[in-house]
Structure 1
Amino acid sequence: MPKFVLIANPETRRVVLFQQALARLSLPAAEVVPYEKLLAGQCFLHAWDAPDLWFRFDAPERNFAVDRALIAAGATVNDPGLHQRIGAIEAYQLQPDKGRILYPRQWYLGWRQQLQSWAKQINGSVFNHPEDIATMFDKVQCQRILANRRIPIPRSLTQHTSILSYEHLCEEMAAQDCQRVFVKLAHGSSASGVVAYERRGTAERAITTVERVEEQGDVRFYNSRKIRQYSNPNEIADIINFLLNESAQVEAWMPKARLEGREFDARVVVMGGKARHVVLRVGNSPMTNLHLGNDRRELSALPKAFATDRWLEMLHTCEQAAACFPRSFYCGIDLLIAPNLRDHYILELNAFGDLLQGITWQGWDTYTTELAMLLKKELSFAFCVLSWCQLDCKC
């Protein structure tokens, strides 16, 4: 019987849901290894070594001590970028400031370095390989991989050049005849550091989750659930320059199909190579993330004009995108459906994008489905090995 090691922040609901899924299938509870202990060197993954052992990395979210440790780990990583930097000692001294976007590029460099280190310590199988997780956490690199595999994605303005500033962005938008773009923090999650920016003549507007706060000449940036609009060029420049310096994906802002008079897209969870759970996200703004107050709909709510074969084609595209990371068992994929209900594009891949509460496939939630598929895969492999051994013995 397989055993599970869950690397996570123990206080998150992801841990509770995964443990519940294990119990539902009469599997032993996972042993939880806190990120905080791993980062402090209080334990090492090579200490877990047993037959049929599976490691699952989950999102390192909602824990400021973990964020500080990852920022500190990134202090020693060489990187040519223009991002803000802080020393390791100063990183450990950072004080909580709810919602503030702190050193995102340095955080990622620390996260990537730790994932690479943990990958070398593992004696067993993994749900998602640590190096795949690191790549999916880099929107720029991830989109280039998809483009190289001819997966449909929004047109990237940074495919052949790096955009280094707000002024440079305006020049490139004019040169590439693109009036609307998304600027996305390369290493953000949950719509953190996302700007929908449009520029028509001298008029411009930025719709964003970023809150710009200025006090006594000090400008800070916060991730907010309240969508804000900026029209002041200086304020917009501040936000975009900050994101570009920290590394950002810049792509064409594509129109979406509409449902109930509002734009929508889909989160599709692919596991074991198959598209399973789907939730439609009906947007009140260009950012459709559900935690921003947008509405969820079941798959049955798709427009009546939607052809079944088109939908199957879109699911196949999601499966092809996931196949770019063959060492990972599951991922969440954001799928944009064009207004003509035919064209479609992959917006993002999320290594931890399987948290879809209340959305089921054949009556099972995402975690239970993953485990059931994993067990079926393991049993099929064991049966094939047994059959091969029996055949070999007869020969």
Structure 2
Amino acid sequence: MLNFILIANPETRRVQLFQQALERCGVPPARSISYADLLACRCDLAQFDSPDTIFRFDAPERSFEVDRGFIAAGAELEPDGRHQRISASAAVQLPADLGRIWYQRQWYLGWRQCLKTWTANLQGRILNHPDDIIIMFDKVRCQQILATAGIPVPPMLFDDRNSTITSYDRLCTLMDDRKIDRVFIKLAHGSSASGVVAYERRNGYERAITTVERVAEGGELRFYNSRLIRQYRATDAIADIVNFLASESIQVETWLPKARLAGREFDVRVVVIGGKARQAVIRVGNSPMTNLHLGNDRREIADLPPGLSPVVWEEMLATCERAAACFPNTFYCGIDLLIAPNLREHYILELNAFGDLLQGITWQGEDTYTTQVRMLLTEYLK
């Protein structure tokens, strides 16, 4: 019998849903290992290792203790980087400040290093493999891999020699030179729409629509991830936000129009499991950011516009499967699919290594977790 080891923050809904899927399939509960215990060296994954073991890493979310641990783990890495940095000892003393965006690049470096260290000599199967998780947590690298493979992605905006954009002034210069008036700016290592800016500039007018809250107090600038979408029109405020994000590394891409449902733009989150597109949900936006936790509406796939032919929809799902295939050691991932207003062209916006949390959305009567467990059992019993 397969043994499952689930590495996650135990307070998250994901743990409960995965354990329920195991029970539904007649499999004993997974042994749950917390990121906090791994970071504190209170356990070692090697002690649970065997050929019949499946290790599942889930999103390291909703724990500031864990965030501090990853920031501390990244303190001595990439010493020549432009990002904010803090010592390991200072990182573990950081006060909780709900929603604050800080040390994002250092967090990523620590997360990357920990994943590699924890899994270096494991013999069991890892879902998803850290090598793929690490790339999907770097939006710039991920989109470059997709583009190289011929996957349609929004045109990316780079500085000279394909380097990332490092400042607001440089962004404006490049947009003007290339006659681009709308872009999306994303933290390279952000998730859940953290650090996302829909920015437009034309004829002396500029506007940033964003999840970022800029707070200026006592001579200090702080930036927070917020569920309230804000608009900034003042150049100094926009420049502060872009400069801050750029210092942590950003992905900049052309802001493409989306198809509409009932007058509002939408995109689709598609979950690919075992190489096949399975569960999917339409995300209808109240702003350019369609993430469901921001208060946007969800629709079933049956609600896709009638002008979208079944043949074209199958082509779009095939594109999602080709995108997932760029990461051969990934068993499941969430893919954000943009459908153009003509209902034919489509683009992959990004891949999410932990993008399988689609509560209430089923495929052939199964949620994403049940589909994963059933498919793994089928493979094992062959």
TM-score range, shorter chain: over 0.9
Cα distance in 2 for partners of 1:81, 1:342 equals 41
Conserved? CA contact 1:336–1:345, under 8 Å: yes
Query: 1:238-278: CA deviations, max 9, x gaps?
Result: 00001111000000000000001100000000000000000
Shift of 1:118: 1.6
The one of 319, 328, 337 equivalent to 2:330 is 328
Shift of 1:103: 0.6
Aligned amino acid, residue 251 of structure 2:
Q
Percent sequence identity over matched residues? 66
Which structure 1 residue ranges, 5 or more long, are not aligned? Answer: 381-395
Shift of 1:339: 0.2
Instruction: Provide the residue aligned with 1:33 in structure 2.
Output: 33
Instruction: Provide the residue aligned with 2:258 in structure 1.
Output: 256
The one of 164, 167, 175 equivalent to 2:166 is 164
Shift of 1:202: 1.1
Query: 1:146-171: CA deviations, max 9, x gaps?
Result: 01101000000027243111000001
Paired residues for 1:60-71 under 5 Å = 60-71=60-71
Cα distance in 2 for partners of 1:78, 1:163 equals 18
Aligned amino acid, residue 361 of structure 1:
W
2:141 is aligned with 1:141: yes
Cα distance in 2 for partners of 1:120, 1:350 equals 23
The one of 176, 179, 182 equivalent to 1:180 is 182
The one of 194, 201, 204 equivalent to 1:202 is 204
Instruction: Provide the residue aligned with 1:383 in structure 2.
Output: none
Cα distance in 2 for partners of 1:124, 1:161 equals 38
Shift of 1:86: 0.2
Shift of 1:80: 3.2
Cα distance in 2 for partners of 1:252, 1:352 equals 25
Instruction: Provide the residue aligned with 2:126 in structure 1.
Output: 126
Conserved? CA contact 2:35–2:66, under 8 Å: yes
Shift of 1:82: 1.2
Shift of 1:79: 4.6
Query: 1:327-375: CA deviations, max 9, x gaps?
Result: 0100000000000000000000000000000000000100000111111
2:117 is aligned with 1:107: no
The DSSP-based 3-state class of the residue aligned with 2:29 is: coil
The DSSP-based 3-state class of the residue aligned with 1:212 is: strand
TM-score normalised per structure 1: 0.95
Instruction: Provide the residue aligned with 1:83 in structure 2.
Output: 83
Shift of 1:81: 2.6
Cα distance in 2 for partners of 1:118, 1:42 equals 12
Shift of 1:122: 1.9
Cα distance in 1 for partners of 2:68, 2:48 equals 26
Shift of 1:51: 3.9
The DSSP-based 3-state class of the residue aligned with 1:80 is: coil
Conserved? CA contact 2:285–2:296, under 8 Å: yes
Shift of 1:136: 0.4
Superposed CA RMSD in Å reads 0.9
Conserved? CA contact 2:164–2:249, under 8 Å: no
Shift of 1:44: 0.9
Aligned amino acid, residue 267 of structure 1:
R
Which contiguous aligned blocks of 4+ residues in structure 1 show a shift greater than 6 angstroms?
A: none
Query: 1:169-223: CA deviations, max 9, x gaps?
Result: 0010011111000000001100000000000121100000000000011000000
Instruction: Provide the residue aligned with 1:275 in structure 2.
Output: 277
The DSSP-based 3-state class of the residue aligned with 2:124 is: strand
Aligned amino acid, residue 136 of structure 1:
M
The one of 348, 358, 371 equivalent to 1:356 is 358
Conserved? CA contact 2:3–2:30, under 8 Å: yes
Instruction: Provide the residue aligned with 2:316 in structure 1.
Output: 314
Instruction: Provide the residue aligned with 1:284 in structure 2.
Output: 286
The DSSP-based 3-state class of the residue aligned with 2:117 is: helix
The DSSP-based 3-state class of the residue aligned with 1:62 is: coil
Conserved? CA contact 1:118–1:130, under 8 Å: no
Instruction: Provide the residue aligned with 2:55 in structure 1.
Output: 55
Query: 1:53-74: CA deviations, max 9, x gaps?
Result: 1000000000011000000000
Conserved? CA contact 1:266–1:280, under 8 Å: yes
Cα distance in 2 for partners of 1:307, 1:77 equals 50
The DSSP-based 3-state class of the residue aligned with 1:22 is: helix
Answer with 1 or 2: which has the greater Rg.
Answer: 1
Paired residues for 1:333-348 under 5 Å = 333-348=335-350
